[in-house]
Amino acid sequence: MKSPMLKLFGLVAALIAGGEGVARYALGVTPAPLTSDAGLQASLKKFVEFDPVLGVRYKPNVDVLVDAPSGDFSILFKTNEMGLRDRPLGTHLRQELKFLFLGDEYVEGWGTDIDETPVVTAQRLVNEKTALKPPVRFVIGGKSGYGAAQNRLIAQQLSDAMTIRGIVFVYTSLMPNADRRFLAQATLSDGLASGVDPAVAPTAVSLPHAADRPPQADNPFRALAPKSALARWLADRWATFATTRAHPPGDAARDRLAGLRATASAMDATLEPSLRHVKAIAAFARERNMPFMLIHLPLAPQIAHDEWAAGRALFGIAAEPPTAADVAPIEAFCKAENLRCHSLHAFLQQAAAAPDGLPLHHRTEFGLTVDGSRLLGTWLGNTMFEWMGELKLR
């Protein structure tokens, strides 16, 4: 007669074998190593550094190859002489008609090469239409991980350094969390951030995209994932669990997507710090006699149920119809402040639903594909062309 221990061992072995078969053949899981952030972090450290005002800045004149851990893209990340993710400005370009674009990774063009970013695509389209001499220049001031508070500070810096004719602020639902994190270490004056509080300044720079995925080194199934489909499946489930634990849904201070999925009762409070700083940017633009426009750019879950598949799984967002919980508060804010605003929700939803529509977002990364960037850039170019006509700048 078999001992109880032997029976238990046999039962466990049978369960593991059965689970392996289900994972491999029923779920279609293939054993594979987990992605590593080491390469991305090494690349980011070559051009990202601490800034006592902005918290994070880019080193000037850097060309760095960036490979997404997910395999979503491989790009050459370029910065110019001012540390912007942009082409060189140069002294010979000072007479260009400059518009400043503020925002986060979406306005920066994370995941696409510089000439394929939405802002550069829009600039190229406007210059083709107007043939102005000197031409139009759209300056990319926003950076990955920036909220409205940091954008306000860099807008002030760049407006002092060059003649800006207008400001375009591209808002996304990543900003409420970005602002909470920055404001937690900032010095405030009349409720507005003036820089990093010297008393809490970090000893090391907080790298952008650090919160895009959980550290895989902590995954207990990491070693077996390359050999076992079951272990790989469990590793993915653990990653989702770890992400949810680190980013409790709706928690503005910790959830990367709080601006998208805060409860209805908490949404106004979640958005308030960001909108307070957007209001200050608009006021700054009025003081400098610079026209201001806000563009509300939806994230992938606000566009289609099948956009950003791996990202949804990682952050625990069901493949359900697009959510628009933040649309009404932003519209109300624009109306109250009498701002020129555009929402791209309907436009991008229609594009994503088209029979021949291609994915607009990367599978995992927070960023647009080349097709998504081209679509947004074309819309931006046409909108800027119309706005410039109203402003009598063409």
pLDDT band at 301; cut points 50, 70, 90: very high
Residue-wise pLDDT tens digits, 313-350: 889 888 787 778 899 999 999 999 999 999 999 999 99
Each residue of 27-49: pLDDT tens digit?
A: 777 888 887 788 899 999 999 99
Percentage above 90 pLDDT, the chain: 65
For residue 111, is it within any domain? Answer: yes
For residue 66, pLDDT beyond 90: yes
Residue 14 within a domain: no
For position 241, what pLDDT does the model report?
Answer: 85
Q: Residue 18: pLDDT band by 50, 70, 90 thresholds?
A: low
229 within some domain: no
Above 60 in pLDDT, residue 12?
no
Domain membership of residue 22 (yes or no) is no
Mean pLDDT over each residue of the chain, to the nearest integer? 90
Position 142 in a domain: yes
CA distance 371 to 85: 20
| DSSP E strand stretches across 107-189 | 136-140, 166-171, 186-189
Whether the pLDDT of residue 91 is over 70: the answer is no
How far apart are the C-alpha atoms of 124 and 136, rounded to whole Å? 9
Split at pLDDT 50, 70, 90, the class of 7 is low
pLDDT bin (cut points 50, 70, 90) of residue 19 is: low
Tokens of 46: 């070559």
- Inside any domain, residue 137: yes
pLDDT tens-place string over residues 246-295:
889 999 999 999 999 999 899 999 999 999 999 999 999 999 999 999 99
Q: Report the pLDDT value the prediction gives residue 17, as an integer from 0 to 100.
A: 60
Alpha-carbon gap, residue 327 to 310, rounded angstroms: 24
**Number of structural domains found in the chain:** 1
**Domain hosting residue 256, numbered range:** 43-211+247-390
pLDDT in tens, 181-209: 999 999 999 999 999 998 887 666 788 99
H or E element at residue 267: helix 264-287
Percent of the chain whose pLDDT exceeds 70: 93
∠124-129-132 over CA atoms, to 5°? 85
At 264, which CATH number? 3.40.50.1110
For position 231, what pLDDT does the model report? 76
- pLDDT over threshold 60, residue 93: no
- Does residue 108 belong to any structural domain of this protein? yes
**What does R_g of the chain's alpha carbons equal in angstroms?**
23
Asked whether residue 144 is assigned to any structural domain, the reply reads: yes
pLDDT at 178: 97
**Residue 10: pLDDT band by 50, 70, 90 thresholds?**
low
> Among all chains, which residue has been given the structure tokens 């802002």?
119
